[in-house]
Amino acid sequence: MTELPDQAASQVRLAAVRLSRRLRAQKSDDRVTDSQMTVLMHLSKHGSLTLSELAEAERISAPSMNRTVDCLETDGHVIRTPDPVDRRKTNITATDSGREIVAATLHKRNAWLTERMHELTPAERATLLAASEIMDRIATQ
């Protein structure tokens, strides 16, 4: 196995970060922060979660997650309800407005990326798709 130069890893990392920033900028509501958007996306995908589950998913402290959820709750994008089985727990659920923000944002991000991909050659699009599968595999390790 040949040694991977640090420069190659750095190039991939920088490209991934730059693309991620451009995609995050495509939001349906600029008042929602990136952290808040991530929480709304988790809730939209997985349903109700506890504060601890959200904090663990984002690898941040529970107090930090609590501040993010507080802001979302104030804006009406999430609600907190007592867990029906364990009353010590509180479940956090996206409201209709929270789910609408997620759907609109995903649509906007996909549209932006689709436009960029139309500028590529068919071979470049195929390479990008293959790279996305590899990057996803790396990200899940």
Structural domain contains residue 25: no
Structural domain contains residue 75: yes
Q: Which domain holds residue 127?
A: 30-139
Q: Are 68 and 49 in contact (CB under 8 A)?
A: no
pLDDT tens track, the chain, 141 positions: 566 678 889 999 999 999 999 999 999 999 999 999 999 999 999 999 999 999 999 999 999 999 999 999 999 999 999 988 888 899 999 999 999 999 999 999 999 999 999 999 999 999 999 999 999 999 888
**Count of structural domains within the chain:** 1
Return the CATH number at 82: 1.10.10.10
DSSP character string of 71-126: HHHHTTSEEEEE-SS-TT-EEEEE-HHHHHHHHHHHHHHHHHHHHHHHTS-HHHHH
Residues 6+ apart with CB under 8 A from 101: 28, 29, 32, 37, 40, 77
Q: What's the predicted TM-score (pTM) here? A: 0.84
Structural domain contains residue 9: no
Structural domain contains residue 93: yes
Structural domain contains residue 89: yes
User: How far apart (Å, rounded) are the C-alpha atoms in residues 137 and 60?
Assistant: 23
